[in-house]
Amino acid sequence: MMNDLPIIQLILHASLLVQMVMLLLFCISLYSWTLIITKSRALKRAKKDISLFEENFWKGKDLSALYNRITSSNKKPTGLESIFLMGYVEFNRLRKYPTITPSDVIEGTERAMQVAFHREMDKLDSGLPVLATIGSVSPYIGLFGTVWGIMNSFHALASVQQVTLAMVAPGISEALIATAMGLFAAIPAVMAYNSHVDEVERLGTHYDIFLDEFTGFLQRQIHSSGN
């Protein structure tokens, strides 16, 4: 059957609207795979950065040296680096005011790190709603192309007195390709979305734990120094 009706030939003989639907689904699928690969690399890099930062942070605990190392690097701070820098700068800024109590210093530092935390989480979440939309909408776009193709096939047979399966099969086959392409675009997007959401939640947990640990570290430091 496939030899009689090759996929390329079916696509070329499909109606213009069905061809446009197929082209749209092909572009959506291509964009989805680009987004999946880009996001996978970004999340992998984020996990690597977490391990490297935590190793440097807990190894020396020299905050000024760590701050200088990060700020002097050509690499833009991300993840835990960004949270650390925001907290460290705010902590030292607030300590310069003699009227501010230690608890207010810690509270202000924690708020600053929360801002950095939410910014980093927003970066990690970017692109995920698009994958969710592709996974939800693509099957319906393909189904629309299928319904339209089948409708055109039966409409063309309205003037035929005797209808055979051989007359109906090509038109239906053309239309069903749209459904297949819709599923081809949707399934990887849904699988990648679920996987990436889980990874983002794990990274967010790492960020949140470090924020609490760093807050406790600064709290001990400010009380041991007297301010």
Query: Mind listing the pLDDT tens digit for each residue in 5-17?
Result: 566 776 776 778 8
Which 8-state DSSP code applies to residue 217? H
Query: Mind listing the pLDDT tens digit for each residue in 186-210?
Result: 999 999 999 999 999 999 999 999 9
Residues of the chain predicted below pLDDT 70 = 1-7, 10, 13, 60-61, 155-171, 225-227
H or E element at residue 97: none
Q: How far apart are the first and last CA of the chain?
A: 82
List, in sequence order, the alpha helices (H) in 4-15.
7-13
Closest CA to 146 of 114, 112, 122, 178: 178
> What is the pLDDT, as a whole number, of residue 118?
95
Which single residue is written with the structure tokens 């082209």?
Answer: 23
What is the helix, strand, coil percentage profile of the chain, to 5?
85, 0, 15
8 Å CB contact between 178 and 22? yes
8 Å CB contact between 187 and 29? no
The alpha carbon of 33 is separated from its chain's Cα centroid by a whole number of angstroms, namely 12
> What is the pLDDT, as a whole number, of residue 157?
64
Distances in Å between the Cα of 132 and the Cα atoms of 30, 103, 141 are: 15, 43, 15
> What is the pLDDT, as a whole number, of residue 77?
86
Phi-psi region of 100 (alpha: psi -120 to 50; beta: other; left: phi over 0): beta
pTM: 0.81
Interior angle at CA 108, CA 103 and CA 111, nearest 5: 125
Which 8-state DSSP code applies to residue 74? S
The residues near 144 (Cβ < 8 Å, ≥ 6 apart) are: 21, 178
> What is the pLDDT, as a whole number, of residue 19?
84
